[in-house]
Amino acid sequence: MALEHAILVSLAERSASGYELARRFDASIGNFWKASHQQIYKVLGRMETGGQVASELVEQDGRPDKKVYAITTSGRDELSRWVGTPTPAEALRSEFAVKLRALHLADPATLRADVGRRRVQHTEKLAYYEASRQKFYPDPAAVSPEALGGYLVLRGGMLAEQAGLDWCDEILGQLDTVDGAVR
């Protein structure tokens, strides 16, 4: 049940409405954990019943009212209990890998185009992470303890994207040599 914990982490950083949380899950946190607004509203409801979060109705003019959720003491307790818990190994799951395995059934040009597209996506995401890093953590040696988590998560994303990029290059290289050998 990790979405609940992701929400707790986000609300511990700053209280927010369901809508605002959904926006965050599109950006910062969402780079490593996606969630739709529908799902977030549902889980927030459950968590309020459970007492981990509390909401306050905020009226706005010219905009719909919103329910701003804050983490409660009980939620904070649950969160620190959870961070002290060992994290189980995460299985990697890749549709692309499954498809790669059946590459001999594919048209080489189509496949090359697909890998190229993927390569561009990795490059763009990497550039985006790098921009965030420069903006928020200009000096990696001087990151405050509170900000260290965010920095390290970003670094993890960068390493993952770089690995994906290297993989694409290796695939493209192999496709070329095979083609060359066939001709």
Partner DNA sequence: AGAACCATGTAATGCGTTACATGATTTC
Partner DNA sequence: GAAATCATGTAACGCATTACATGGTTCT
Which uninterrupted H or E stretch holds 42? helix 37-50
Look at the alpha carbons of 36, 42, 44, 50 in this order and tell me if their dihedral is positive or negative: negative
Rounded Cα distance, 169 and 10, in Å: 36
Burial (CB count <10 Å: 0-12, 13-18, 19+), residue 117: exposed
Beta carbon nearer to DNA, 23 or 133: 23
Cβ within 8 Å of residue 15, ≥6 positions away: 68, 69, 70, 71
How many C-beta atoms surround the C-beta of residue 182 within 10 A?
Answer: 7
Contact string (CB under 7 A) for DNA, positions 46-85, x = contact: --------------x-xxxxxx------------------
- Selection from DNA, its own copies, none that 26 binds (CB < 5 to 8 A by kind) is none
DSSP state at residue 84: T
* Residue 70, helix vs strand vs coil: strand
Nearer to its own copies, 18 or 157 (CB): 157
Q: 34, 50, 99, 159: which one contacts DNA (CB under 7 A)?
A: 34
Q: Tell me whether residue 18 or residue 71 sits nearer to its own copies (CB atom).
A: 71
Nearer to DNA (CB atom), residue 93 or residue 104: 93
- Binding status of residue 79 toward its own copies by CB under 8 A: yes
Residues that bind its own copies (CB under 8 A): 2, 5-6, 9, 12, 29, 31-34, 79-80, 82-84, 86-107, 110-111, 113-114, 117-118, 121, 141, 143, 145-146, 148-153, 155-157, 159-160, 162-164, 166-167, 170-171, 174, 177-178, 182
